[in-house]
Amino acid sequence: MKAFRMVIAALALLPALVVAQTVPLPAPAAGSTAIVPSPPTLSASSYILMDANSGRVLVEHNADERLPPASLTKLMTSYVVSYEIAQGRVSGDDMVTISKNAWSQNPVFRGSSLMWIEVGKQVSLHDLHVGIVVSSGNDASVAVAEYLAGSESAFADVMNQHAERLGLTNTHFVNSHGLPHPEHYTSARDLAILSRAIMEFPEEYDLYKMKEYTFNNIRQVNRNGLLFRDPTVDGLKTGHTNEAGYCLAASAVRDGMRLISVVMGTASESVRERETEQLLSYGFRYFQTHKVYEAGAQVSQTRIWGGEKDQLQLGVTDDVVLTIPRGRHGELEAVMNVDQVIKAPVAAGESYGELVVSLGGETLATVPLVAIEAVEQGSIFKRIWDALVLFVTGLLS
């Protein structure tokens, strides 16, 4: 036993090395084409096309330019509502008393849109959320801001804290509705990132595909015209002021691939819809989504020391899904950086390296490699033998 302890002590001095291994990728889907033209040039101040699953940007133009967002602001207002509901701090059934300040958001503010709530009445938080998403109600936005944070200014601070947490580096809010202010701005990239975050709340995201709703005996129609002529589109939000022009954040799903587009600063409603359609069509036609690794499946295996078995199966905790240009699946490269010395016991889910998938030198995904099974310690003789082998290996290296 004294010799065993000496070997174990020497083993602790071995360097923590990482071994890189190339691993195979699944076969590509049939019917791919390798012809991918340059992206379209749109009549817009700024735009972006993003893969919703990975966040990879497929097309962008002036995507980080700080611009007035108009009612695209309400994406963040809606996100805060969804977040608070998910945290259990509020419920869609909560009744909100409408203040005079919320009610007074009327057409005297040029370009304002309304849910037509009435001062002193109580409205459920769910109905107010629908009013924000579908009819773009400024009155509903203010009512929600006051209910969740106590005042519009306090709610703007909450919005900005969420923006920082989500990594929105070119965004700053001063109100919940999007009426112009010199310090109220965002960017196409930030809005795409925010749209991805909204989709983390699927029940709330379902509101965005509502084509119409009736409140207070007033029927209102969703301003996103793409909902009415493209069945693959299920969101998100329109915006317009003189300063911002006509804007549209949209999302669609085709053949299992979801894309997010943001188009800002176009000349009219028809132009923002036409340019959005062009952007989405380009993405769906010339890009393809591949599930390159499945959650829980074995990606590779590596040596484990002192365990009841000699091989440790490694995999990923979540599906690795990538959207890449059609016909380039064969160019994907995957490398595993695995800890060289892994000693039992090992618990399932523990990380022992990382998997890096790249295309043409660009890293597309870096995910932890985890043990997909537990491995207990082996017998005392197995541990002594493996410790001796490691000790000799360390001396030789």
Q: What is the pLDDT of residue 100?
A: 83
Mean pLDDT computed over 116-137 = 90
The alpha carbons of the chain give a radius of gyration, in whole angstroms, of 27
Indicate if the pLDDT at residue 32 is higher than 90.
no
Q: What is the pLDDT of residue 17?
A: 46
Indicate if the pLDDT at residue 121 is higher than 70.
yes
Q: What is the pLDDT of residue 225?
A: 96
Contact 284, 254 (CB under 8 A): yes
Contact 117, 144 (CB under 8 A): no
CA-to-CA distance for 101 and 140, rounded, in angstroms? Answer: 11
> Exposed, middle or buried: residue 214 (CB in 10 Å: 0-12, 13-18, 19+)?
exposed
- Where do the domains of the chain lie, and which CATH numbers do they carry? 2-30+291-396 (2.60.410.10), 65-222 (3.40.710.10)
The total of other beta-carbon atoms located within 10 Å of residue 78's CB is 26
Q: What is the pLDDT of residue 101?
A: 84
Looking at the chain, the whole-number percentage of residues with pLDDT higher than 90 is 63
Looking at the chain, the whole-number percentage of residues with pLDDT higher than 70 is 88
CA-to-CA distance for 352 and 371, rounded, in angstroms? Answer: 7
Which helix (H) or strand (E) covers residue 364, if one does?
Answer: strand 362-371
Indicate if the pLDDT at residue 296 is higher than 60.
yes
Reading the block at residue 114, the tokens are 């309304």
Across the chain, mean pLDDT equals 88
Indicate if the pLDDT at residue 251 is higher than 60.
yes
Residues classed as catalytic: 71, 74, 136
Whether residue 148 has a cis bond before it, omega within 30° of 0: no
Indicate if the pLDDT at residue 15 is higher than 90.
no
Reading the block at residue 261, the tokens are 């587009």
Question: Which of 165, 167, 141, 135 lies closest to 155 in space, CA to CA?
Answer: 141
Q: What is the pLDDT of residue 8?
A: 46
CA-to-CA distance for 187 and 172, rounded, in angstroms? Answer: 10
Mean pLDDT computed over 65-81 = 97
Write the pLDDT tens digit of every residue in 325-360.
988 888 999 998 988 888 889 899 899 999 999 998
Write the pLDDT tens digit of every residue in 89-106.
999 999 999 888 877 765
Q: How does residue 39 score in pLDDT terms, banded at 50, 70 and 90?
A: very high
Indicate if the pLDDT at residue 369 is higher than 90.
yes
Q: List 336's β-bridge partners, or say none.
A: 21, 355
Write the pLDDT tens digit of every residue in 136-171.
999 999 999 999 999 999 999 999 999 999 999 999
Q: What is the pLDDT of residue 11?
A: 42
Indicate if the pLDDT at residue 113 is higher than 80.
no
What are the helix (H) ranges across the chain? 2-11, 74-86, 100-103, 125-133, 138-149, 152-165, 188-198, 202-205, 226-229, 269-286, 380-396
Indicate if the pLDDT at residue 76 is higher than 50.
yes
CA-to-CA distance for 92 and 123, rounded, in angstroms? Answer: 10
Q: How does residue 397 score in pLDDT terms, banded at 50, 70 and 90?
A: low
CA dihedral 197, 290, 295, 373 (to 10 degrees): -140
Q: What is the pLDDT of residue 341?
A: 87
Q: What is the pLDDT of residue 375?
A: 86
Q: What is the pLDDT of residue 10?
A: 44
